[in-house]
Each structure stands twice: as structure tokens, then as C-alpha cells.
Structure 1
Amino acid sequence: MISWEFILLYIAAGSIAGFLAGLLGVGGGVVIIPILMFIFAAQHFPADHMIHIAVGTSLASIMFTSVSSLRVHHEHKAVNWGIVKSITPGILLGTLIGTFIAAKIPAGLLKAFFIVFLFYVATQLLLNIRPKPARQLPGTGGMIAAGGFIGFVSSFVGIGGGAMSVPFMTWSNVKMHNAIGTSAAIGFPIAVAGTVGYVLNGWSASDLPDWCFGFVHLPSLAGLVVASVLLAPFGARAAHKLPVETLKKIFAAFLYIIGIKMLFGTLQ
């Protein structure tokens, strides 16, 4: 049996992640994964599988969170479905490939690159460095490549891709509100492909805890989803009431937090 204190922790994590998903167009994995690691350790999950279960469960929860937040963004006409359509093939391919090799190669080099990328983008947003007016979204090949990269990295760190897709779109002169709304929609194919990959990778793993479906822990997923789906629309509505410059500062702070967290994780 899972005690009520753990269930309440799952719900608390889902509440925070859901609000962030709606507000910033991110999946909330950067909040969910550290909390899940803490709860799983307290439940004495096997150390060899703990991170995989946390990432797999985080991606599974993002399937629901992204749908909840993108509905509100769609109502505000903030989702560019043309971008979603063009980037999704690369997202699906990159995410699936990433899940299958995540457990086979060291992620240190990729994490180091990602940390530098996050700090650069956060500084650009904080200093309000605007993209050149002539810069536009790339063609079909470029969009597939961008989607592949975003999906690949997202599968390694269990996020919905907003930390990369929002900067990518704002660099290409997509308005901030539209970039956040579109990022919420992009999080769905990342989450679907990532969940499938982690389920398949964990299917034959030994010593998994009870109630695991591959590397997805169903009780924690249920707690996360209930709270995140309820809170995501509130975050999405808040995003459309805040000025663009405020959103940029919030997003910059969010990227710094991710980067610092990953930096300390890499140095350990």
C-alpha cells in the first residue's frame, strides 16, 4: 500500500508542474523529477532504476498536462498549428531515439551543452536581446531537425521541451505568447513518444517496484495528473494576463533554475 503522505506529495508536485506548464508552456518535468526522486528514495525504490522511472513517469504526466494547458492557449488563439505540424515528425523521431539510447551512453556531454545553451538563452531573454527582424522559421528540413534535437534532449531530461522550443520560436520572431502556447502543444508528441520509449525500455527490466508499467509508475502518475490537469488552465490564463516583458523575465529565471540544477547534477 502507498501511504497518504506520498500521495499528497505526488499531488503537490503535480500542482506546481501543472501551473508552470500553463504559464510557461513547459511540461513541468524539471519540478516533477526531483520530487519523484525524493519520494521514490523514501519508498526504497531500486537505485538502478529510480531515475528512469522518474523520467518515464514525468513524460507520461506531460501527456495530460500539455493537453490541459494547450486548450486554454488555443482558446486565446495562441497556438500556431502550422508550427506544430511541421515540427512534430522530428519531435517524434528524436524523442524515440533518445529514449532508446539514454540508458546506453553517458549523458554528461549532452548535459554540458544543454547547460551552456540554457544560460545563453536565459541571459538573452533577461537582457531583452531581440532577434533580427529578418530571421524567420526554417523550412521543412530545418523544422524537422529542430524538432529532432528538442525531442532528443527532452527524452534525456524528462521535460516537455518548452525550455528549447520557446527560445527557438522567439529567435524566429514568433511572439512570446504564441511561442508559449505553441510549446504547450509541442509537449504532447514529446510526451507520447517519450512515454512509449520508456515503457518499452523498462518492460524487461528486473526488480521494478509494484505498479510499474515499464518505467512508468502508475500511482504517482495518477496523483500528478489529477493535480496538474486542474492547475494547468490557471497557469495558461495567467500567461495571457501578464505583459510580454514580465513573461520573458519569468521564463529567464526558470531557465537559470534548470541550468543550475543540471550543473550541480553533472558535477556530482
Structure 2
Amino acid sequence: MLVIGLICGFVGVGGAGFIIAILVLFHIPIHTALGTSLAAMAFTTLSGAYSHLREGNISLKAGVWTGGFGAIAAFFGSKLSSLIPSEHLHYLTAGMLFLSAILFILRFFMMKGKVEEVIDETLGYPTLLVKALLLGMTTGLLSGAFGIGSAPFIQIGLMLLFGLSIRQSIGTTMLVILPIAAGGGFGYIMEGYLDLMLLFQVLAGTMAGAYLGAKLTKFAPKPVLKTAMVATPVVAALLILFE
């Protein structure tokens, strides 16, 4: 978990896929691995969201409403996950991680030459609520069902639906993931798939590692960071598939 935390802090992702992959390698049942990784993200994204808020990188209206709808969907997504046989869930979770890598590539293409903008808080509520409902319910359901943070899905959605810049989408995504992880984690608790001691062990390692890994990010060239962001979910998916 310490090594995973180092990687996640360096790359700047939640790392749920890697956590799931390693837990599965240690013969933790897939449903318990999903619940533990999702619950852990509620804690690991808290400091990141607070930091981005202080830096002015978060669109509060978009983040709060999308996260709120996402939390509801994540709760029901965790119920859906309990109905999926474990042998099928391995492949579905790996598939979602591969798709995450593809979306990261698309995000890098979309941000090419994109100018940083001032966060727009003037979007009318009827339009905002419809967009937040669409994005929140979709990403929340994916997170709850497959135990992933859905960061690239959320980031792409914020850029396309709300017109946020890449910097704003990263910060707002941290805020959105927080309630989604909490809602999905609560759903897994209700299903009896959350091991509290295992959660504590995961948090102790990943939070310490993420703090140290974040210190290394500023020393890495951008091509290295982008490659690492794409490679992380791919490697995690391969570990799950060939466990």
C-alpha cells in the first residue's frame, strides 16, 4: 500500500484500481476489495479537495451537485455490484480500468493548447442540475458497481458539459469523488463487504505514500507524468485479469 501511495501521489490519481488489483493478488475477495478501495478514497481525496479549494481550482456549484447525485448513484451501484458474480466482476472492473486509460489519452488530446479559464459560477440552475444529474448518476453508478473513482470519466464530463479548463476539472473532480466514495462505501458496508481492519491498513500505507509521492511530481517531466497516468490503470487491469 505504501508503494501504491507513492505511485498515486506521483501520478495524481486516486489509485482505486491499483488498490483493487493488489488486494485481489493477496486473495481478498473481489467484492471486499471493491468496497475497501472505494471507502479508502473518501479519506484520500479529502485533503486533495481541500487543497484545490484553497487554490481556487474548484467550481463549487458543479462539484457539489454532481457529487451529490453521484453519491446516490454510487450507493445503488454498490447494491448492483453484490448481484454480479465475482468471476464476472473481475473482467468488468478490468475493462473499466482499460477504458479509464483511453479516456486519459483523450483528455490529454483535448487539453492540448487549451487556455486556462476563470471558473464560471454563472451557469443557470436548471441547466446545471440537468448536467450534474447526468454526469453524477453515470459516474456514481460506475464507481459504486466497480469500486473505481471514475476520475477520467468525471474530468472529461466536467470539461464537456460545464466547459471547465483542465486545471478546474482536476480540482472539481476531487470534490466530486468525495461524496461518491462515501456513498458507495456506505453501500458496501450495508452489504457486509467492508473489512474495517483492512481499510485501516490500506489507508495507513496509501496516505503516507501519497504524501511522499506528491513531493516527487514537480521533478518529473510532463511526458513522464502523462505516460504514468495512462500506464497506471492499464497495469492495474492486467494484474486483475491475470491474478
Equivalence map 1:80-229=2 (5 Å)? 80-105=59-84, 114=96, 117-118=99-100, 120-125=102-107, 128-129=109-110, 139-171=128-160, 173-202=163-192, 215-229=193-207
SS in 1 for 2:77: helix
Q: 1:31 aligns with which of 18, 25, 30?
A: 18
In 2: Cα distance, 1:227 partner to 1:26 partner? 16
8 Å Cα contact 1:26/1:159 also seen in 2: no
How far, CA to CA, are the matches of 1:219 and 1:89 in structure 2? 28
Do the aligned partners of 1:94 and 1:151 also contact (CA within 8 Å) in 2? yes
Q: Deviations over 1:34-89 (max 9, x none)?
A: 211222x2xxx6xxxx1111111111211111112223333333233222112023
Q: Secondary structure at the match of 2:57?
A: coil
Unaligned runs of 5+ in 1: 1-12, 203-214
Please say if residues 60 and 191 of structure 1, whose CA atoms lie closer than 8 Å, have aligned partners that are also in contact: yes
Post-superposition shift, 1:167? 2.6
Q: From the superposition, tell whether residues 113 and 26 of structure 1 become closer, same or farther in structure 2 (CA, over 3 Å).
A: same
Q: Kindly, what percent of the aligned residue pairs are identical?
A: 23
Tell me the equivalent position of 1:254: 232
Give the distance between the partners of 1:112 and 1:80, measured in 2 at CA: 31
Report 1:64-75 matches (<5 A).
Answer: 64-75=43-54
What SS does the corresponding residue of 2:164 show, helix, strand or coil? Answer: coil
Contact kept, 8 Å, 2:63 with 2:175, in 1: the verdict is yes
Indicate the RMSD between aligned Cα atoms, in angstroms.
3.5
Whole-angstrom distance in 2 between the partners of 1:81 and 1:241: 30
What is the total number of aligned residue pairs between the two structures?
229
Contact 1:122/1:253 (8 A) holds in 2: no
> 1:154, 1:171 → 2: CA distance?
20
Instruction: For 2:58 and 2:213, locate their aligned partners in 1 and report how far apart those are by CA, in whole Å.
Output: 15
Other structure's SS at 1:230 match: helix
Q: What secondary structure does 2:174 align onto?
A: helix
**Higher Cα Rg, which structure:** 1
TM normalised by structure 1 equals 0.69
TM-superposed deviation, 1:91: 0.4
What letter matches 1:174 in structure 2? Answer: L
- Give the AA of the match of 1:218: L
8 Å CA contact 2:17–2:97 kept in 1: the answer is: no
